[in-house]
Structure 1
Amino acid sequence: MRFLKVTGADKERDEKVIERARMLAVLKCYVTNLPIDTVPATKVISAHHDLWQVEASFKMTKSDLRARPIFHREKDSIDAHLTVVFAALATGRHLQEISGLP
């Protein structure tokens, strides 16, 4: 339905939407602050493709652990919270690896 114009009972292709989709389909950009001579583009793309694992971990922590949002205003509080979260995530991942559990 995304590429169709529906007017009453009439349906026709929406050429403007189709053309925009074609133009956007070829664009894929990866932006990083890592120097190209240190980290090759293939490594950046590979790391991006593994991002789903991080997202899955955060989804698990929110749902399985019933974590609620915590709002911080001060930089020290934000840094401390992120440190605890990432330490817990790293510990959980390590335990998954050595136990062989999914």
Structure 2
Amino acid sequence: MKVTGQDRALNEELVQNARDLAGYKAYIPNLDPKVAGAEFVIGAYHYLWQVEKSFRISKHDLTARPIYHHQHESIEAHLSVVFAALAVAWRLGPSRGGH
């Protein structure tokens, strides 16, 4: 919506821009472009499915609960414990409760 005083109108330009971008997903890496160029970022994106699979495994197999931490250190500590447990379960193998 464009609001000018009492006047209100649909922002057609913004609507068209949203339609043009529908279906696209953008990632903005926090990497130094001099160190990690476009090829590196694109290559890392192709392995994103493995990261997502790890999260699905950790949530399912370890019955991970939602994280309600608010401080960066608490979040990192929680994820470290979850992934350490995932690594132990993976190492134990299927006969011992892991994969």
2:79 matched residue in structure 1: 82
Shift, 1:31, TM fit: 1.5
Q: Which amino acid aligns with 1:44?
A: V
Percent identical among aligned pairs is: 52
Query: 1: distance between equivalents of 2:77 and 2:66?
Result: 15
**Superposition CA RMSD, Å:** 3.5
Residue from 21, 35, 39 that aligns with 2:36 = 39
Task: State whether residues 72 and 78 of structure 1, in contact with CA within 8 Å, keep that contact through their aligned partners in structure 2.
Answer: yes
> Cα distance 1:94–1:36, how it changes in 2: closer, same or farther (>3 A)?
farther
Task: State whether residues 30 and 45 of structure 1, in contact with CA within 8 Å, keep that contact through their aligned partners in structure 2.
Answer: no
Deviations 1:25-69 (A, max 9, x none): 795644222121111111101111211111111101111222222
Task: State whether residues 62 and 68 of structure 1, in contact with CA within 8 Å, keep that contact through their aligned partners in structure 2.
Answer: yes
Aligned length: 79
Please identify, of 60-69 and 47-56, the stretch whose mean Cα deviation from structure 2 is larger.
60-69
1:62 aligns with 2:59: yes
TM-score, normalised via structure 1 length: 0.52
Shift, 1:89, TM fit: 5.0
Q: Which runs of 5 or more structure 2 residues have no equivalent in the other structure?
A: 1-15, 94-98
1:72 aligns with 2:75: no
